[in-house]
């Protein structure tokens, strides 16, 4: 099982991406588990992408080469009839300064474990998150190295206000869906770090899950191809969903801290408070860690920082497992 590391909160933002004022550190140090931020070791051989063979994914007639997809030469749209027409900021971006939003968040907005599911989030909420990234009020809890989420910070800094508003309106209008299944088990298939998530090791057997959350694609090749209809599995310790339901409905420190108080019945969101139901538990866990460490420091996040302060990492795993198991 990956070694856990204890880190102090950030002193600076991601190097070369954002420079901003720093929030006050939390009263007590917060352990940020390395396994929640899977990042490959630096270096390694140079990768040469296939620029000849054209491939597709299940249910699609669209063809791309590996080089087109992985070298960022195109933003894959495998199922163009499954979503509205994407605006330029989502479908293309403004290369080389700005990568189109759909490359990471996918045309249907469901994102991937290392990104975020932003479909059906309020447009104003999305705009505010970009503003917080620009100001330094929203940063990851992981101090690295390597840096976590650097590509999103580059997008936030390079996008114009008009492009942000255009993309936010597109994703807000998409229907909420889920492509993650929560699995409670004391054992998890053996995985390896692959980019910003885990990938199954072929014929690797199983290993103890311990007090972790491990999320991976059902088919890693399709994940690398940015297939927006691909499903994911999230392994959590036995009893997590029931424990998470208790936290969501009763709160870690009484009813005032219950998740449903702000996020609404079924955690489907209320007004500008985002829906949590059916979203990636890995991503939600990282946000709870950011609230607890104080690296999500916007004034609007004060209620969440108070709730997260009362949560252990085990509590967080349970809470996000329950949220991810809910129907959007």
pLDDT in tens, 128-144: 999 999 999 999 999 87
Best CA proximity match to 7, nearest among 203, 145, 211:
145
Q: What is the CATH number of the domain that holds 156?
A: 1.10.760.10
User: 201 in a domain, yes or no?
Assistant: no
| Six-digit token string for 269 | 């969101």
Whether the CA torsion 198, 204, 206, 208 is positive or negative: it is: negative
- Identify the domain containing residue 302 by its residue range: 34-178+238-325
- Cα radius of gyration (the chain): 19
Q: What pLDDT, on the 0 to 100 scale, is given for residue 215? A: 98
Q: What pLDDT, on the 0 to 100 scale, is given for residue 40? A: 81
User: 276 in a domain, yes or no?
Assistant: yes
Instruction: Average the pLDDT over 258-286 and give the result.
Output: 97
Instruction: Average the pLDDT over 257-277 and give the result.
Output: 96
pLDDT in tens, 81-95: 999 999 999 999 998
Q: What pLDDT, on the 0 to 100 scale, is given for residue 287? A: 98
pLDDT in tens, 29-74: 568 999 999 988 777 677 889 999 999 999 999 999 999 998 888 9
pTM confidence score: 0.89
Instruction: Average the pLDDT over 204-219 and give the result.
Output: 98
pLDDT in tens, 110-122: 999 999 999 999 9
Q: What pLDDT, on the 0 to 100 scale, is given for residue 195? A: 85
Domain count, the chain: 1
Q: What pLDDT, on the 0 to 100 scale, is given for residue 304? A: 96
User: 121 in a domain, yes or no?
Assistant: yes
Phi, psi of 158 (to 5 degrees): -95, -20
Q: Is the pLDDT of residue 10 over 80?
A: no
Q: Is the pLDDT of residue 186 over 80?
A: yes
Q: What pLDDT, on the 0 to 100 scale, is given for residue 184? A: 98
Q: Is the pLDDT of residue 19 over 60?
A: no
Helices (H) and strands (E) in the chain, counts: 12, 11
Element (H, E) at 188: strand 187-189
Q: What pLDDT, on the 0 to 100 scale, is given for residue 21? A: 35
User: 218 in a domain, yes or no?
Assistant: no
User: 226 in a domain, yes or no?
Assistant: no
Contact 109, 258 (CB under 8 A): no
Neighbours of 32 (CB within 10 A): 24
User: 123 in a domain, yes or no?
Assistant: yes
User: 90 in a domain, yes or no?
Assistant: yes
């Amino acid at each position: 099982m990956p070694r856990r590391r204890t880190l102090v909160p950030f002193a600076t933002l991601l190097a070369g991406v954002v420079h901003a004022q720093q929030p006050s550190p939390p009263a007590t140090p917060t352990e940020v588990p390395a396994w929640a931020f899977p990042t490959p070791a630096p270096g390694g051989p140079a990768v040469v992408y296939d620029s000849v063979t054209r491939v597709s994914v299940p249910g699609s007639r669209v063809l791309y080469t590996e080089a087109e997809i992985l070298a960022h030469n195109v933003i894959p749209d495998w199922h163009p009839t499954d979503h509205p027409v994407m605006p330029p900021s989502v479908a293309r971006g403004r290369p080389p300064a700005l990568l189109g939003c759909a490359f990471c968040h996918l045309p249907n907005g469901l994102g991937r474990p290392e990104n975020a599911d932003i479909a059906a989030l309020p447009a104003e909420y999305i705009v505010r998150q970009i503003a917080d990234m620009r100001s330094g009020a929203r940063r990851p809890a992981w101090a690295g190295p390597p840096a976590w989420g650097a590509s999103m910070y580059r997008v936030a800094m390079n996008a114009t206000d008009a492009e942000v508003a255009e993309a936010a309106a597109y994703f807000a209008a998409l229907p909420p869906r889920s492509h993650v299944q929560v699995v409670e088990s004391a054992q998890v298939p053996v995985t390896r770090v692959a980019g910003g998530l885990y990938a199954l090791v072929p014929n690797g057997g199983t290993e103890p899950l311990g007090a972790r959350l491990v999320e991976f694609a059902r088919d890693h090749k399709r994940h690398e191809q940015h297939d927006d209809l691909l499903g994911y599995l999230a392994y959590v310790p036995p009893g997590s969903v029931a424990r998470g339901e208790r936290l969501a409905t009763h709160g870690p420190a009484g009813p005032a801290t219950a998740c449903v108080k702000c996020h609404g019945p079924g955690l489907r969101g209320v007004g500008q408070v985002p829906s949590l139901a059916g979203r990636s538990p890995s991503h939600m866990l990282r946000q709870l860690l950011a609230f607890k460490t104080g690296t999500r420091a916007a004034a609007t996040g004060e209620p969440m920082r108070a709730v997260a302060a009362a949560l252990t990492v085990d509590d967080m795993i349970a809470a996000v497992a329950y949220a991810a198991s809910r129907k959007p």
